[in-house]
Amino acid sequence: MAARPLIFRLSPESAHAATVTALGIPGVWNAFRPLNGAENARLATTVAGISFPNPVGLAAGFDKDCRVLGSVLHLGFGFATGGTVTLSARPGNPRPRVVRVPDRKAVMNSLGFPGSGLEAAVRKLQKSRKYSDRILVSISGTIEDEVVECLTRTQGLVSGIELNVSSPNTSGLRVFHEPGRLRGLIEGLVAVKNVPLFVKLPPWMRNKENRREMLKLVETAVDAGVDGVVVANTHPIESSRLSVGNGGLSGAPLFEHTELMIADVQALLQGNADIIACGGVTTAEQVWQLLAKGASAIQLYTSFVYEGPGLPSRINRRLVKLMNVAGITTVDEISGPVPSVR
Ligand SMILES: Cc1cc2nc3c(=O)[nH]c(=O)nc-3n(C[C@H](O)[C@H](O)[C@H](O)COP(=O)(O)O)c2cc1C
């Protein structure tokens, strides 16, 4: 039997720490730039008024303290989302809190926002200022004033803010699933923001009361003034392999449902706010499907863990190939079924 790569023999958290350390080595990741296919002008896209060289973004959670966002961009991502950043440093939940499910290309996590807090993230973002036009930062908290402070301290250092009210692993966040509380929080942020604001939503189930409730949150958020929505966070899951007994599922099993949710949100918003699709994306074909359904960009995380650092560049190149076959010149023109390419 072939030996598993070293990185998969480490615990998920140790492997992640090793990856982030490697990405922190200055200069090395620059070498990927000419090869990453990220800057083909045909892939350029605009999301809530922010221009990105391509629509493939890194989702929140990979770089919680905003330490290596510049290196990540060199791998071919069009944009990268740092955080989730909270006002104070937090230890997160007890371990085990990240579990790989390799046969499903999925991950279960119950991290609960471990992080070094706002001050540390601001220091790192200051160092990556030259990339600020391609960085979003995810912020969160359970008290409105704390979230407002996260926004005011970071917004000068990034191109957009992503408000996370959707982590299934953090007790207290669910208060913002009440439309009145969500509206109050967003209006408070809108009053002081000077960059586009996105809200990242929890996923909703088909044919359930939950779908109605979550779509009500989308409507409330847009009415309160967000510029875009991120659909969606991890799917709540129960598992005895996580020390707290429950957490969020991410990765390949989410994709089909992501597509359904994008169709739901697009029908509801009809262009009144931009959509970033997130959940289970691994291929250029899937990016095509989500853009065709109305998303302006996508974010991914778990497939990056399984497929490695070449993934964003492979997606970019394949997307251009699909566009060639379809005879279109820009990603904005993507619509209809995925063209078949041999
Ligand atoms: C280990 C891990 C940590 C995460 N941490 C965060 C986080 O801090 N904030 C957030 O908004 N989403 C977080 N997420 C969710 C991802 O941003 C994304 O919404 C989700 O994983 C679905 O996308 P994927 O299937 O491409 O991974 C995390 C996901 C994983 C796997």
Assigned token pair, 229:
């929505």
Question: 167 CB less than 6 Å from ligand 1?
Answer: yes
Per-residue pLDDT at 120: 96
What count of other Cβ atoms lies within 10 Å of the Cβ of residue 313?
Answer: 21
Q: What is the pLDDT of residue 183?
A: 97
How many angstroms separate the alpha carbon of residue 328 from the centre of ligand 1? 32
The CA distance from 263 to 284, in Å, is 18
Distance 113 CA to ligand 1 centre (A): 11
Cα Dmax for the chain: 59
pLDDT tens for the chain, 342 residues long, are 456 666 567 888 888 888 888 888 767 777 676 666 677 899 999 999 999 999 999 999 999 999 999 989 989 999 999 999 999 999 989 999 999 999 999 999 998 888 999 999 999 999 999 999 999 999 999 999 999 999 999 999 999 999 999 877 776 778 888 999 999 999 999 999 999 999 999 998 877 888 999 999 999 999 999 999 999 999 999 999 999 999 999 999 999 999 999 999 999 999 999 999 999 999 999 999 999 999 999 999 999 999 988 999 999 999 999 999 999 999 999 999 999 987
The architecture (CATH level 2) of 27-333 comes to Alpha-Beta Barrel (3.20)
Q: Which of 252, 232, 339, 341 lies closest to 288, judged by CA?
A: 339
231 lines ligand 1 (CB under 6 A): no
Residue 2: the pLDDT is 53
Q: Judge whether 171 counts as a catalytic residue.
A: no
- Measured from the CA of 281, which atom of ligand 1 is nearest? 26
Tell the residue nearest (CA) to atom 10 of ligand 1: 60
For 178, residues 6+ apart whose C-beta sits below 8 A from its C-beta are none
Q: Is 264 left (phi over 0), alpha (psi -120 to 50) or beta?
A: alpha
How many angstroms separate the alpha carbon of residue 167 from the centre of ligand 1?
Answer: 8
Instruction: Return the best residue to mutate from 250, 254, 305, 306 for the ligand 1 pocket (most ligand atoms within 8 A of CB).
Output: 250
What confidence score (pLDDT) does residue 34 get?
67
Whole-angstrom distance, CA of residue 7 vs CA of residue 275: 34
**For position 1, what pLDDT does the model report?**
47
For the entire predicted model, the pTM comes to: 0.95
Residue whose CA lies nearest to ligand 1 atom number 22: 279
Task: Please name the residue whose Cα sits nearest to atom 26 of ligand 1.
Answer: 300
Q: Select from 62, 136, 198, 233 the residue to mutate for testing ligand 1; criterion: most ligand atoms less than 8 Å from CB.
A: 233
Nearest CA to ligand 1 atom 28: 61
Catalytic residue selected from 167, 296, 303, 313: 167
Q: How far apart are CA 148 and CA 254, in angstroms?
A: 31
